[in-house]
Structure 1
Amino acid sequence: MTTLSRTRRQVFAALAAGALALAASVPAFAQKAEKTQLTLGVGGKPLLYYLPLTIAERKGFFKEEGLDVSINDFGGGAKSLQALIGGSVDVVTGAYEHTIRMQAKGQDIVSVIELGRYPGIVLVVQKDKAEKYKSVKDLKGAKIGVTAPGSSTNFFVNFLLAKDGLKPEDVSFVGVGGGASAVAQMKRGEIDAMSNLDPVITKLQSDGDVVVLADTRTEEGNQKIFGGTNPAAVLYMKRDFMEQNPVTVQKLVNAFYKSLKWLQTASPEDVAKVVPEEYLLGDRALYIAAVKASKPTYSLTGIIPESGMKNALGMLVEFDPELKAAKIDLPKTFDGRFVAKAAETVK
């Protein structure tokens, strides 16, 4: 590389950094977003894992920030990630783990706000087969439903299998989605076990269809499984999008931060009134129970703690050979400046 080329690159880098710093120093509401029309990808929007997204949409928080956000709901988190890489969506509400895995693949994906501090994922087995599958190590040869292959529900099972000396190839994974179809497949006995989220899990539990093997909806469950918090849903995007659209990203983060603040004081009944009717799975009382069970999972600050990042990496390394050999720069997976600004300005 010539000296002139190096100088140009340094100048461009300095200009980009200066623009980001300037945008961060001026209140977002006083600025116009670089991109007001956005496409957001998500994998299983009705799931309580993504409740902060639905709240931001239904409570009008995106519109308050001057944004017109179109939401594309895919069959699972892996598919929304593919859409981001392929360029058909601008940003994604998805699992934090994807930022780590994509860094190992040479893709610079960064999260900008934590929406869930616990995964909220639950591994259950069909009640009629509970005697056969008493623990994770008994699942060898089982047919296990996940929201979509390659999604966080899949990673969770892979991790649990690895802890008990099994490999992902020792079971069969089936994509079942995160709604009524997942419930139906478990009830019909088409799968032996399932890794999924609320309200699906609470529905199956209340109907007496399943037995729980592992539960990450509570602090106790996370401590037992991961040794602490493990970031779940986040808002993530390509780093160049973040750098080129700092005001837009700030406004997105503001909207999600408003959702987190609203959820801290909202009752499960309040949540049930806001979400679309179809999210209730035909049973409002059950949905309210599911919200109550999942309430502890949501982030209180929007900030991913260093310990949480390490726990997420530790989970992935347990079963992913590619990550064992990779050198992951964890601070690059999360940029907390936007949340810090939201905490100062959002009331």
Structure 2
Amino acid sequence: MKRRTLLAAGLAGGATLGLPALVRAQAIEKPKVTIAVGGKNLLYYLPLTVAESLGYFKDEGLEAQVVDFAGGSQALRAVVGGSADVVSGAFEHTVNMQAKGQRMRAFVLQGRAPQIVLAVNKRTMPNFKSLADLKGRKIGVTAPGSSTNIMANFVLAKAGLKPTDVSFIGVGATNAAIAAIRQGQIDALSHLDPVITILERAGDIQIVTDTRIVAEADRVFGGPMPAACLYAPQTFVDRHPHTVQALTNAIVRADKWIQRAGPGEIIKVVPEGFLLGDRAVYIDAFLKSKGALSPDGMIPEQGPATALRALASVDESLKDAQLDLAAVYTNEFVKKANAKYPKG
């Protein structure tokens, strides 16, 4: 009898000791996570801002520090250099980095179309007729090597122009870009909202290509071109799966909230500084870009191939590159997030 009692107590004790191990196995491995982004104020990254402002990261047990840079290429460098854990940036960087021997994996989508607009400066190019007119001209981008630079290269390539036929100028993501157009420092601009809508409404620019429209983006790129996403080194994803799941949950909730939200709700969530002094313009920009934002975080299966075609059109070394495109993204975390938050 005594032996049976001791045995039962031992089993109970073992079960109790096992519980913390189970909890630890399911716990977030890195509750403090740093997210690098290039131009946080842009509507391109609206889901990131919503997730932060509405406390979705905190709800998942995360203390997320968002560090803003002038462009996506600089945000990527922060993660490669080890000063940030995750990038909120353009999907095509995952393809480009694999070609360079560095494995990056996208795990949740914020934008299903690039939302990048290529426009010419009416002040310096009043007689613009075709893309060929841009030869020898200065084109503003958020930062050299960023998605705005890549998209401009791709559109110019379709017109027979090489990247070396123009000069790319980094103008940042906010007021400096607007000033560069109005002061005649650049002849064209590859950029995003709200900057584009501000310039468009003021009559400063003529739009040439507009990938805020999903159908036009698909036509330009020949298929679905994933845009903003969260991506990280494969090693980070492997070592911190619960952290990645928590990040994914927060972004999926934000994606779904945005699709339900009206302009008035968006204005309340976005920091005042993001409005660039004009709420009406920001609302207009949001309505133009809303359709290009992801409704559920899912990355399209054809996306990596589309991104590779775009990159290869401006980088000869990628045309014959043997890449594992299935390794640049995963929807496994998104599927779980949608199951957990079917309505956001």
TM-score using structure 1 length:
0.90
Rg bigger for which structure? 2
Partners of 2:137 and 2:187 within 8 A in 1? yes
Matched, 1:33 2:34: no
Q: One-letter code of the match for 1:346?
A: Y
1:45 matched to which residue of 2? Answer: 40
Instruction: Tell me which residue corresponds to 1:246.
Output: 241
Q: Is the 8 A contact 1:130 1:211 kept in 2?
A: no
Match for residue 11 of structure 2? none
1:71 to 56, 66, 80: 66
- Between the aligned partners of 1:131 and 1:181, the Cα distance in structure 2 is 22
The equivalent residue for 2:76 is 81
CA distance in 2, matches of 1:269, 1:31: 38
Match of 1:234 in 2: 229
Partner of residue 293, structure 1 = 288
1: CA distance, partners of 2:332 / 2:164: 40
| 2:303 aligned with 1:332 | no
Q: Which moved more, 1:179-188 or 1:141-150?
A: 179-188
The 2-side partners of 1:44 and 1:273 are apart by 20
Unaligned stretches of 5+ in structure 2? 1-21
Distance in structure 2 (CA, Å) of the matches to 1:224 and 1:134: 21
- 1:337 corresponds to which letter in structure 2? E
Secondary structure at 1:228 match in 2: coil
- Is the partner of 2:313 in helix, strand or coil? helix
Q: Which residue of 1 aligns with 2:265?
A: 270
> What is the CA distance between 1:299 and its match in structure 2?
1.0
1:182 aligns with 2:197: no
Instruction: Report if the CA contact (8 A) 1:94-1:234 is conserved.
Output: yes
Q: What is the match of residue 307 of structure 2?
A: 312
Amino acid at match of 1:42: V
The CA distance in 2 between the partners of 1:78 and 1:89, in whole Å, is 13
Following TM superposition, by how much is the alpha carbon of 1:34 offset from its aligned partner in structure 2, in angstroms? 0.5
Kindly state the Cα deviation for residue 128 of structure 1 after the two structures are TM-superposed.
Answer: 2.5
Is 1:61 matched with 2:56?
yes
CA distance in 2, matches of 1:87, 1:133: 44
Which one of the candidate residues 103, 111, 124 is aligned to 2:106? 111
- Kindly report which structure 2 residues correspond to 1:115-264, keeping only aligned pairs within 5 A, or say none: 115-264=110-259
Q: Would you say the 8 A contact 1:309–1:330 is kept in 2?
A: yes
- C-alpha RMSD of the superposition: 1.6
2:339 counterpart (327, 339, 344): 344
Aligned 8 A contact 2:141 2:168 in 1: yes
List, as ranges, runs of 4+ consecutive aligned residues in structure 1 with deviation greater than 6 Å. Answer: none
Structure-2-length-normalised TM-score: 0.90
Aligned residues of 1:222 and 1:229 also touching (Cα < 8 A):
yes
The 1-side partners of 2:162 and 2:175 are apart by 29
Helix, strand or coil at the partner of 1:325: coil
